[in-house]
Amino acid sequence: MEETKKKTSANKKIAKNLVIVESPAKAKTLERFLGDDYKVLSSYGHIRDLKKHDFSVDLKNFEPKYEIPKEKEDVVRSLRTAAKKADTVWLASDEDREGEAISWHLAQVLNLPVEDTRRIVFHEITKTAILDAIKHPRHIDLNLVNAQQARRVLDRIVGFTLSPVLWRKLKPNLSAGRVQSVAVRLIVERERDIEAFKSESSYRITAVFTSGTTELKAELNQRFATEEEAHQFLESCKNRQFCISDITKKPVRRVPAPPFTTSTLQQEAARKLGFTVSQTMSVAQRLYEAGIITYMRTDSVNLSSLCLNSSHKEIVEHLGEKYAKRRQYQTHSKGAQEAHEAIRPTYMDRREIDATTAERRLYDLIWKRTLASQMADAELEKTTITIPAGKAAFVATAEVVTFDGFLHVYRESFDDEQETDTQTDTGTIDATLAVGQQLDYKEILATQRFSQGPLRYNEASLVHKLEELGIGRPSTYATIISTVQQRGYVERGDKKGKKQAYTLLTLKPQKDVKRAEKSEIVGNEKGKLLPTDIGTVVNDFLVKYFPAIVDYNFTANTEKEFDEIAEGKENWQQMMDDFYQELAPLCDKVLNQRESSHVGERTLGTDPQGRTVTVKIGRFGPVVQIGTATDDEKPRFAQLGKGQSIQSITLDEALELFRLPRTLGQYEDSDVIIGAGRFGPYVMHQKKYVSLPKGTDPLQITLDEAIALIEEHRKADAQKHLKQFAEEPELEIINGRFGPYLTYKGENYRIPKTVKDATTLTSAECLEIIKAQAGKAKGRSRSRK
């Protein structure tokens, strides 16, 4: 009896306070720090949103029309029940705009008074931070909510207003996004910059000098434009006396990078760990929700005094006082938002964590970067030796670390380090070398080098560019990059390098200058963001007809307006109205405009019969077309092959695609034919069609590969058609996505759950099931009347 009373008392305590967070992992961590008086539940993200396939915005006042998705109904039901039992409800979603909106939606759906409901926020999920937040609750910040609503509604206006224009003018099922379209434009323009780049050659002169057993590598501080000039210089060096004219030594200091923001974490994790942007955010989210790191969506480089003190203690204890230097960094990113802390470990004395490999690797990166930011500068000594050579001079440089400082823990990486025209470190320098010392040359090389064009973006460098332009925010970078790939406008892939020939001139003592033709592979790129044909055509269309939507400054200024709304300085509905009043008439104008040719169409020439050959985006992707709709003969179409592009395909390559249909041979005494149709390339055998898998080249597929596809299709077909009846040819048992069902005279009927094995049904039993369901349908029809 006493035990029952205790249990009842405990249940009452648990129901006293209800804390709602957005994820189960976060709920689990919070429960560790709060006592029995608190029950922690998760909303599993947003509990309300705009309808998926509906505009859901009232254009009179731009009020959004929200709905509770079907998959969230059970969650909402349990939260409502818990909220009614609790004395106090605490909303503890993340403290950015998205988190504020989640809290507001919860208040609306759970009928909590917005002005009185307790809202708590924290940068980190630690006992100290949580208890402090409970002591200092605030109200829901409607300005932050409005900023989130403004972004959501504006994106919906752009999507639902522009997309129909793309459907009509380009291709069905295309979509346009406000920030995503700008990201695609960056990638398309970079690709065009690369295509337009004209490489220039020059000759780089390097030498190896000797003095006794000492070797010294040096580079000439001048390059030559032609082989003739480089050859003349090497000839002039044959009998030249080389002597050191100057040795300078100067101290160099290197300072550590600031602690991580969202974008710098995404960039460094890509370079050092090979993580994608979305992978980094997913792993960081798990670390945050487990209470291991601070909030991972931030553009601040600020560190709390608690972190500064614990970092200082950690450095002094393990490395000594000389390695410690307290620093506080300032945020300089364009349009920085919300005064969060930088991303850091919650406890600096926790060097290792018990977690997955990906979580351990990312945590190690964050821990080292945070610690290094509070360490002393690295001290180096840079030595420069000058060796005159006529009007130019050879220069040898070397840097020696005299005190490693923060480098003891961490070295920052950079994107695509490549050869530049600046002087590079040429190795170590012997301390015995002195001014006036005579040197012999071991060899002098003149190597033809080519200027490098701009590099394609990878995910990390695109995030850096977006941040630099003030486009997007820490919470949106990963979404932007994943969305443009999901829509098929951009793909992540590799670009194979090309073989490039170059000339090498070599001078050795007592020998003539030797000339050699060499080759190397240049331009090999991995994991880059490449525009697809559809992405390029959509971008060109938007740039031509909707320049403001894809204008970099316009998009950055829109972000600033969201910031103004978040600070209560601008009315969000007025901003929506101003935007819509400009966009809607422009869409109408473009829709009613007649094009002289298909948008994105490129004319390649004519075929041997004199018919026009064009390439364009068709209903099912990029296609080559022979002929026009006005010709007597119907136009012919062929889809582009793998690796082919609308921008670069030639007339000969296009005509090659029309070698289909082609007969591969025979199987079961029938021809196996490869053809191309409206839905792409296919195998035809015994009047049955099988689509070729995506990426399969119809001109390269072999007979064996085609037979394998035919057999695979037959197997799948057999699994689908479970049973047929000779006495009832129109009756069949089919295996569908959701299990077996009956089909009879063009109508489908479900099989009752009481039937365990559908294949055991007789035709009579099937007809009884059909009769029963048809009877119910008639009854419903009469009751409606």
H helix and E strand count, the chain: 20, 29
Closest of 405, 335, 355, 735 to residue 560, by C-alpha: 335
The dihedral of CA 39, 44, 50, 53: what is its sign?
negative
The contacts of residue 776 (CB under 8 Å, 6+ apart) are none
Burial per residue of 435-471, b for 16 or more beta-carbon CB atoms within 10 angstroms, e otherwise: eebebebeebbbbbbeeeeebbbbbbbbbbbbbebbb
The span from the CA of 95 to the CA of 635, in Å, is 58
Name the active-site residue from 203, 295, 323, 410: 295
Active-site residue flag, 295: yes
The span from the CA of 327 to the CA of 370, in Å, is 11
Closest of 27, 394, 405, 468 to residue 219, by C-alpha: 394
The contacts of residue 378 (CB under 8 Å, 6+ apart) are 253, 254, 401, 403, 404, 405, 406, 407
Contact between 255 and 444 under an 8 Å Cβ cutoff? The reply is: no
DSSP 595: P
Contact between 435 and 244 under an 8 Å Cβ cutoff? The reply is: yes
Contact between 374 and 325 under an 8 Å Cβ cutoff? The reply is: yes
* Look-up of token digits 């002098």: 444
Closest of 246, 204, 239 to residue 222, by C-alpha: 204
The span from the CA of 235 to the CA of 231, in Å, is 6
Burial per residue of 642-653, b for 16 or more beta-carbon CB atoms within 10 angstroms, e otherwise: eebebbebeeee
Joined tokens for residue 256: 């550590």
How many CB atoms are located within 10 Å of the residue 84 CB? 12
The span from the CA of 594 to the CA of 377, in Å, is 64
Which residues is 623 bridged to in the sheet? Answer: 616, 639
How many CB atoms are located within 10 Å of the residue 746 CB? 6
Which residues is 672 bridged to in the sheet? Answer: 665
Contact between 125 and 288 under an 8 Å Cβ cutoff? The reply is: yes
The dihedral of CA 584, 589, 595, 596: what is its sign?
negative
Q: Walk across the sheet containing 688-691 and list its strands.
A: 662-667, 670-677, 680-685, 688-691
Give me the phi and psi of 255, to 5 degrees please: -105, 150
Q: What SS3 string covers 74-127? A: HHHHHHHHHHHHCCEEEECCCCCHHHHHHHHHHHHHCCCCCCCCEECCCCCCCH
Which residues is 268 bridged to in the sheet? Answer: none
Closest of 703, 707, 710 to residue 665, by C-alpha: 703
Residues designated catalytic? 295
